[in-house]
Amino acid sequence: HTEDELSRSSHSNPGKSLVNGIKTNPASNSPKSSFPVPVGPPVYVDLAYIPNHCSGKNTDPEFFKRVRASYYVVSGNDAANGEPSRAVLDALLEGKSQWGENLQVTLIPTHDTEVTREWYQQTHEKQQELNIMVLASSSTVVMQDESFPACKIEF
């Protein structure tokens, strides 16, 4: 399509737009699209950052089925906004249980939160069964006027 054709197409179809080459209806602005996820093989990576500070708004079991990482970083530290989300941590268990292979996974929380601690204690047996290790760190980084917990990852 030429630029003019695309321009005419969007003017002749008010309320419709293209997102990644697919016509969508902007009235449907839910974060989880009603479009089916394309079928394809999972993606294997060394390290994945769980999106949106481990908020349940953008991450579900499908994320963990499709993005298979050796290490997942959980950076949420805002209980008022549901970060990290218990539902996302549970989604990791659900997604990993469908991998069909027992690869080692390490979960790296960047903050010690009540949600993470409770999830760890309540699902420890399932974590062991799925070969998931939660990395705890007692390291602290001090920078000028602030300090914060940190983890060191070596490959």
Q: How far apart are CA 61 and CA 91, in angstroms?
A: 4
Instruction: Supply the pLDDT for residue 82.
Output: 67
Mean pLDDT on 56-77: 88
4, pLDDT greater than 70: no
Q: How far apart are CA 26 and CA 89, in angstroms?
A: 30
Instruction: Supply the pLDDT for residue 81.
Output: 72
User: pTM of the prediction?
Assistant: 0.66
Instruction: Supply the pLDDT for residue 113.
Output: 85
| 96 φψ region: left (φ > 0), alpha (ψ -120 to 50), beta (else) | alpha
Summarize pLDDT for 22-52 with one digit per residue, the tens. Answer: 444 444 444 444 455 567 899 999 999 988 7
Confidence tier at 143 by pLDDT (50, 70, 90)? confident
- Residue 29 CB partners (closer than 8 Å, separation 6+): none
Least confident of 5-9, 80-84, 123-127: 5-9
Summarize pLDDT for 70-102 with one digit per residue, the tens. Answer: 999 888 777 777 668 899 999 999 999 999 888
Residue entry with tokens 């949600």 = 115
Mean pLDDT of the chain: 76
